[in-house]
Amino acid sequence: MFGQAAGFALLAACSPTAMLVAAIFLVSARPGQMVALYLAGGVLVVAVAGTIALVAMRTGGLSEVGEREPRYGLRLGLGVLALIAAAVIALRKPRPPEPARQRKPGLVARMSAGPTPRRAFVVGLIVFGPGLTFIAAVQVVATARASLVATVAAMAMIVVLTVLFAWAPLAAYLIAPEATVRWLDTLNAAIRRNSRVILTSAVALIGVLLVIQGSAGLTR
């Protein structure tokens, strides 16, 4: 349970936007405070969404022995959705470049510019909003016949890993501020150049894994 959930949570953490926002906040007037509030918003939304999803799945009886087909059917369904999403991302035509004056920044970009404590917290809520890979991580825990202690520990691990690109840059910044900012700038540049490939590969991988698990469970 822990290994599968950790793998899916790490895939959920792979967000170019999360790293870009962290880099922006780290060069603001109050970098430590901004990133800490950004992290707080992320932890809150991930913890609440994860708890709701876990309770819903457990209430539906997916962890019970007699619910084998619904349990693995859920995994198969999530896998199919992930593969469809990967195909859409891969086939979607990139937008033609627009002049800088005509380009309208997105909501996260607008809120990250001139950051304030409240904006940093809200951006964390938006950026770390639950996605398909996060739900896949939660369903591993929800469908496992685990004790309360093991369930809480697994969910805590999922939350920590999902917001990896908020607390890891903050920890690194506290140790080596200038080196961390340079490293994030370099990494963000590389991710921007290959963002479509990275996102498509991650979503496709989660889809393949869930389809294999779901199919194997249903035919076993």
pLDDT tens, residue by residue, 146-170 = 888 999 999 999 999 999 988 888 8
Q: What sign results for the dihedral spanned by CA atoms 39, 44, 50, 53?
A: negative
* Mean pLDDT score, 27-47: 89
Among the residues of 60-194, which ranges form H helices?
68-91, 107-112, 117-127, 132-142, 148-162, 164-175, 177-193
Quote the pTM value: 0.76
pLDDT of residue 198: 76
- Return mean pLDDT, the chain: 81
Mean pLDDT of 19-36: 84
> Rounded mean pLDDT of 38-49?
94
